[in-house]
Structure 1
Amino acid sequence: MARSTNTRFAVAVHVLTYLAGSTGGRPVSSDELSESTNVNPVHVRRVLGPLREAGLVRSRPGVHGGWELAVEAGAVTLARIWRLLQGDDPMLGLHGPDPACAVGRRVHESLTALDRVVADAVATELEKVTVHDVLTGGVPTPRRPTRPSGGRAR
């Protein structure tokens, strides 16, 4: 299965969770956040920009400056972070077919509609989880489908 190369959401959740629980209230440098997330500091700062614009984090300049959480961790749903960073970008890796191809147009229209359904479903699930939940391990685990008793797995 192909993996997403867009890590902004995961990095944002990691950064917000780190700021919520691992800092003792002290500001944290983007270099420290980079070490924790194991990504380049420039990437961390690119993620922090939209989070700051949304009022989720703030930065303090100076020698003892850095980044800190600007809101309560329990008030930030993962859906808010998702929408902030994902926006209207397609989730399904849509491509632009040849406009002259009737089949290509139909496939594109269908996948575009499905993409919106998938994005809404993801946002609905992410609405149930906060940064505090991630920090405390309160994230729901997926249920495995149950098999009818006596039946064989196919």
Structure 2
Amino acid sequence: MSANSRLTVAVHILSWMTLVARTRADPVTSERIALSVNTNPVVIRRTLGLMQKAGLVRSHRGANAGWTLARSAGAITLREVFAALGEGGPFALHPSPPNASCPVGRGIQPVLGRVYGALDDLIERQLSQTTIEQLLDETLSGTSEPNRP
């Protein structure tokens, strides 16, 4: 199994857009963003579309087409980005019910549900305390220490 990298791509997109916005207000294209992320512009457009629905970015049409942040990077938390992607927590119960006649199968789901719920709460709290602006500043400073509020 591989880890889902959609949040990483979305944060990269927003961080790069924030960096560009520091020197110019023009919209940026998905092609330019894709060069930084090193992926296909279609992946960038899909991710931007989800973030647009959540009010994190705006699309611009016409001669100066592209994308801009809808709010300041200091006001966009990683929790909002994660929510915009429409993904659940990192852990999930198996979709098929386990064998109820097995002692493990009978009791494993409620136990794991509590553990996974607690982990989801911790993750959500951490994501709520971190903004795109903070991540970009740490990235540019070369700090390897995680952000501590």
Regarding TM over 0.5, the answer is yes
For the residues of structure 2 that align with 1:75 and 1:123, how far apart are their CA atoms? Answer: 16
Partner amino acid for 1:22? V
For normalisation by structure 1, the TM-score amounts to 0.78
Partner amino acid for 2:20? S
1:136 aligns with 2:140: no
Displacement of 1:70 in angstroms is: 1.1
1:96 aligns with 2:77: no
> What is the root-mean-square deviation in Å for CA atoms of aligned residues?
2.4
Q: Could you say which structure has the higher helix fraction?
A: 2
* Corresponding residue for residue 68 of structure 2: 68
For the residues of structure 1 that align with 2:45 and 2:79, how far apart are their CA atoms? Answer: 21
Aligned length: 140
Which structure 2 residues correspond to residues 3-152 of structure 1 after superposition, within 5 A?
A: 3-4=2-3, 6-23=4-21, 24-87=24-87, 89-101=88-100, 102=102, 103-137=104-138, 141-142=145-146
* Corresponding residue for residue 149 of structure 1: none
Percent sequence identity is: 34
For the residues of structure 2 that align with 1:125 and 1:140, how far apart are their CA atoms? Answer: 17
Work out which of the two has the higher radius of gyration on C-alpha atoms and give 1 or 2. Answer: 1
For the residues of structure 2 that align with 1:137 and 1:15, how far apart are their CA atoms? Answer: 16
Q: Which 4+ stretches in 1 moved above 6 angstroms?
A: none
Give the gaps of 5 or more residues in structure 1.
144-154
Whether contact under 8 Å (2:92, 2:116) holds in the other structure is no
Whether contact under 8 Å (1:9, 1:86) holds in the other structure is no
SS at match of 2:145: coil
Q: Deviations over 1:83-117 (max 9, x none)?
A: 22244x24125323454344224223322222221
Partner amino acid for 2:123? V
Whether contact under 8 Å (1:14, 1:37) holds in the other structure is yes
For normalisation by structure 2, the TM-score amounts to 0.80
Whether contact under 8 Å (1:96, 1:108) holds in the other structure is no
